[in-house]
Structure 1
C-alpha cells in the first residue's frame, strides 16, 4: 500500500508540474493574442507567473488549500480578457506608433495591473498544489519529478502550438488535468469553472476568421466594399490581401524598387513572403523566378487560398516554409 501511495504521489507531482508549466505558457500566448500590449511584452505575464509560483510555494504548509480555487481563478481571468480585449485600430496605410495609436479596450494603466494580479493569483493557486505534493518527498527526488512534469508540459504545449491547435484545446487539456487531480473531491463549483473555461475559449474557433499559427492568432478582416482582406496577428494589423493592380494604385511604393533597376530581374528572393503580395508584385514586374521564404505556414495557406493573383500557384514560384 505504501509503495502504491508513493507511486500515486510521484504521478501527482509530475501531473501538477505539467499543469503549472502548461498553464503558464498558455497564459503567455493567449493573453498576448487578446491584449496587444502583452503581445509585445510577454515577459509581463511571465513575471506575474513567477510571482504567483513563488507565493504558491511559500504557502506549501498553509492551513487553507487554495489549489481547488484555481479553475475559478482561470475562468475569471478569461472572462475579463474576453470582455475587455485590446486591439490596435488602423485604417488604410496608417503607420502604427506603439502606444500612441487608437485601440479598443480598457486603458493600459487599468487592464495591465488587473491581468498581472489575476495571472499571479491563478498561478499561485496552481503552484500551491505543486508545493503541497513537493514537500512530501526529499528535495532532490521532488525536483526530479517536478522537472519531468515541467518538461512534459512545455513539450506538449509546444506540440499543440506546432499543430496550430486552437485555444479551446488548451482549455480542455487544463480542465481534464484539473479533474484528474481532484478526482472524487471535485466540487460543483470546480466543474462549473472548468466548463466555463472551455466554453469561453470555444468562441474563438467558432469564428471562421480566427485561426492559430505556430506563432500567434491570425484574424482575417474582410472588406468586400474595398476588395481588401486585412490580416491581423495578435490583434495587430499585419498584412493586406488585394489585387496587384489595386495595390499599384493605392500603395505604389511597393513597386519602386523595380523601377530603379536597369533591367528586369530574372531571379527574385523574397524573405517574409506572407500572403504572397510581394511575390505577385515581383511576377507582375517580369521576374522569371521567385524564391518565396516564409516562416509561418498559416500565412502561406491564407495567401494560397485567398490571394486573387494566385502567386503561390504560379510555376515560376518556389516556396520555402522555413526560418
Structure 2
C-alpha cells in the first residue's frame, strides 16, 4: 500500500509528479550541455534518456508503489558530481564533413565516452526515480481523467522553467525549485534510511549548485556565460566554456584583434554607409568598428539579451550608448522578415552558436540564417548599391565554397573572399552586392571563386535542410554506433525492469509505442515550422510546446464529451498531414504576422489535435493505463532516435515518416498482439 503523502488528492499529486518530471527534463537538457560541451554534440541523448527513465519508472512502480520520488535525487547527486568533476570544456576532434566553430584545433581532446555513457545512465536512473509515483497515479483514476491531469502538470512544468529562463536565473534556483517540488510530494511517515539518503543527496545537490554559483557565471536563456580577461587585456566572453567574443577598444587596434572587422570598409574606401544592419551584434565590437568608420546609423540585432547587456556595461567604447545605434533583441531571420527598412550594409557578424552540427536534428540558433532563403532576404533589404558581408573562422574550404555557391545563386555572381590564414585559425570575409560585383579584377588579398569551384561546392542549405556545418546529408557512423548502443541498453533495461516488476510481456502495447514515436516526430516538425516562421528563440519553443500540450487537452475534452469514431480521427489525421506536406513552412511566410500565425497554427496544430484524438480514443479503452503510458513514453524515446532522419531527408519529408508510423499504429490497433488485444475488440 502506498504511503500517505502531504498532498493527498491523487489529481493534485499527478499534476505535481508530471510537473516535476517535465521541469527536471528541461533542467537537465539545459544544464548538462552548458557544463559539458561535448554532451551538447549528442544533444537529444539527454532527451532520449529522460523518456527511457520515465518509462522504466512506471514499470518499476508496479513492484514498488511504496517508494517516493525522492529516491531519484540519489542518482541526481551522482550525475551532478559527475558533471562537475568532468567539467573540462573539452573539444571534439573535427572530422571530414563537419565543422565546429569556436575553438582552436590545437586544444582538441577525444570525447570521453565513459562520461557520456555515465550521463545517459544517471539521467535515466534519476528520471526513473522521479517517475515512480506516476504509474500508480495513472492507474488510480479513469484513463482520460488521468491523462488530462498529467498534461496540466506538464504545462505547469514548461511554464515554470520558461519563467526561470525569462528571468535569467542560475541553476541554483532551478535545483532549489526541484527540491521544493519533491518536498511537497514527500510522504507523511517516519523517515526511513532510504528517505534520509534521498534528502541528503538532494541537499548535496543544492550545495554543489551553491558552489557553482560562487564562480560568478551568468545564465542567459541560451548559454552559461563567463566574462574574463585574457592575456591580451581585452575583456572576453566565453559561452558554455568556449571563447566566444572579445570587447576590443577599437582605437587600440590590438594585433590579436580579429582582422575581418575592417575589411569591407577597406574594400570600398570611398563608399559611405548611411544605414547598417548588424545581425549577431553581441557585446558590441562590430558596432563599435562600424561607428569608427563613420557609418550613419546602426541597427544592432542580437538574440541573447544577457550578452548584449554585458556589452552595454563593459565594452570600453560603449557603442550601445551612441545615439546612432538602435538595439533589437530578436532572432536575425525573424528580424529580416519583420522589418521594412533597407540598409546600405548588412553584416552577419560571427552569427554562430558555437555548437557542432553533424547528426542532431535539433536546430541551432543560426540554423535559418545560413540558408539560400535567408541570403535572399538579406539581399532584399539592401538599398540600391548595398553590400552584404559575412565573416567568421570558417576553417573548412568546403564551407566557404558552399556559401560562395549560395551567394552566386542569390546575387548572380560569386562573391569576393578575403582570407587570413596566418591569423590563429583562418578567418574569412565574404562580400556580395552590386558594388562588390562591379570590382574586377579582385583587389590584392581578395579573390573571386571560379565557376568550376562554385559548381563543385557542396549542396546549398535551405529552410528545409538548414544544416550549414554538415557537408553532405547523412548520419556519421560513430553516431549510428552510439544510437545502436543506446537502443540496446534501453532494450535490456526495459526487459530487466519488466522482469523485476513482474510486468507480463502481454502488457506492452505496440500501438501505443508507435504512437509515441510518431508524436515525437510530429512535435519536432511543429517546432521547426514555428522556429522558421517566428524565430529560433527560447520563448518561441516554449510557446509551441505549451500550445502542443493545450491541443492535447482539447483532444481530451472532445473525447470525454463526444466519443470520436476511430475512422474519423484517423481520417482527420491523414488529411491534415497531407495538407502539412503539400503546404511547406515557406508557403506560410505571409504578412501580416497575425495571419501568418493563424495559418501556421492551423497547419501545424491540426495534425497534433487529430493525433491526440487517436491517442485519447485508444487510451480511453485500455485496461492498463500505466502500461500503455509506459509503452508510449518508450516509443517517444525511439522517436528521438528517428529525428536523425532529418539530416538525410530534411524536415518536410519527416511528415511522410510520421504518416507511415500512424499507418503502422492503425494496423497494430486492429491486431490481437500483446496488450493491443483490448483495442482490437
| TM-score, scaled relative to structure 1 | 0.89
Q: Would you say the 8 A contact 2:70–2:199 is kept in 1?
A: no
Q: Which residue of 2 aligns with 1:84?
A: 86
Q: How far apart are the structure 2 equivalents of 1:79 and 1:27?
A: 13
Q: 1:82: Cα distance to partner?
A: 0.8
Deviates more, 1:253-262 or 1:137-146: 253-262
Q: Which residue of 2 aligns with 1:192?
A: 200
Q: How far apart are the structure 2 equivalents of 1:27 and 1:131?
A: 22
Q: Which residue of 1 aligns with 2:211?
A: 203
Q: Would you say the 8 A contact 2:102–2:242 is kept in 1?
A: no
Q: In structure 1, the residue corresponding to 2:188 is in which secondary structure?
A: helix
Deviates more, 1:17-26 or 1:119-128: 119-128
Q: Which residue of 1 aligns with 2:107?
A: 102
Equivalenced residues, count: 312
Q: How far apart are the structure 2 equivalents of 1:38 and 1:14?
A: 30
Q: Are residue 119 (structure 1) and residue 123 (structure 2) matched?
A: yes
Change (3 A) 1:98 1:52: farther
Q: Which residue of 2 aligns with 1:278?
A: 286
Cα RMSD after superposing both structures: 2.4
Q: Which residue of 2 aligns with 1:92?
A: none
| TM-score, scaled relative to structure 2 | 0.44
Q: What pairs up with 1:220-231 in 2 under 5 angstroms?
A: 220-223=227-230, 225-231=231-237
Q: Are residue 16 (structure 1) and residue 17 (structure 2) matched?
A: yes
Q: In structure 2, the residue corresponding to 1:86 is in which secondary structure?
A: coil
Q: 1:6: Cα distance to partner?
A: 10
Q: In structure 2, the residue corresponding to 1:123 is in which secondary structure?
A: helix
Q: 1:307: Cα distance to partner?
A: 0.6
Q: How far apart are the structure 1 equivalents of 2:89 and 2:150?
A: 37
Q: How far apart are the structure 2 equivalents of 1:136 and 1:67?
A: 17
Q: 1:66: Cα distance to partner?
A: 6.7
Q: Which structure: larger Rg?
A: 2
Q: Would you say the 8 A contact 2:68–2:186 is kept in 1?
A: no
Q: 1:301: Cα distance to partner?
A: 0.6
Change (3 A) 1:134 1:174: same
Change (3 A) 1:317 1:75: same
Q: What pairs up with 1:1-323 in 2 under 5 angstroms?
A: 8-63=9-64, 65=67, 67-88=69-90, 96=101, 102=107, 107-185=111-189, 186=191, 187-208=195-216, 210-223=217-230, 225-247=231-253, 249-250=255-256, 251-261=258-268, 262-323=270-331
Q: Would you say the 8 A contact 1:45–1:119 is kept in 2?
A: yes
Q: How far apart are the structure 2 equivalents of 1:26 and 1:50?
A: 14
Q: How far apart are the structure 2 equivalents of 1:219 and 1:258?
A: 31
Change (3 A) 1:112 1:155: same
Change (3 A) 1:38 1:107: closer
Q: In structure 1, the residue corresponding to 2:204 is in which secondary structure?
A: helix
Q: In structure 2, the residue corresponding to 1:195 is in which secondary structure?
A: helix
Q: Would you say the 8 A contact 1:87–1:103 is kept in 2?
A: no
Q: Would you say the 8 A contact 2:69–2:182 is kept in 1?
A: no
- C-alpha deviations, 1:60-102, integer Å up to 9, x for none? 311373734111111111011011113147xxxxx85889652
Q: How far apart are the structure 1 equivalents of 2:30 and 2:175?
A: 13
Q: 1:264: Cα distance to partner?
A: 2.3
Q: Would you say the 8 A contact 2:278–2:301 is kept in 1?
A: yes
Q: In structure 2, the residue corresponding to 1:184 is in which secondary structure?
A: coil
Q: In structure 2, the residue corresponding to 1:215 is in which secondary structure?
A: coil
4+ runs deviating over 4 angstroms? 95-101
Q: How far apart are the structure 1 equivalents of 2:329 and 2:253?
A: 25
Q: How far apart are the structure 2 equivalents of 1:215 and 1:314?
A: 27
In the alignment, structure 2 segments of 5+ residues that lack a partner are 1-5, 92-99, 332-681
Q: In structure 1, the residue corresponding to 2:185 is in which secondary structure?
A: helix
Q: Would you say the 8 A contact 2:237–2:244 is kept in 1?
A: yes
Q: How far apart are the structure 2 equivalents of 1:53 and 1:98?
A: 36
Q: 1:38: Cα distance to partner?
A: 2.3
In the alignment, structure 1 segments of 5+ residues that lack a partner are 90-94
Q: In structure 1, the residue corresponding to 2:260 is in which secondary structure?
A: helix
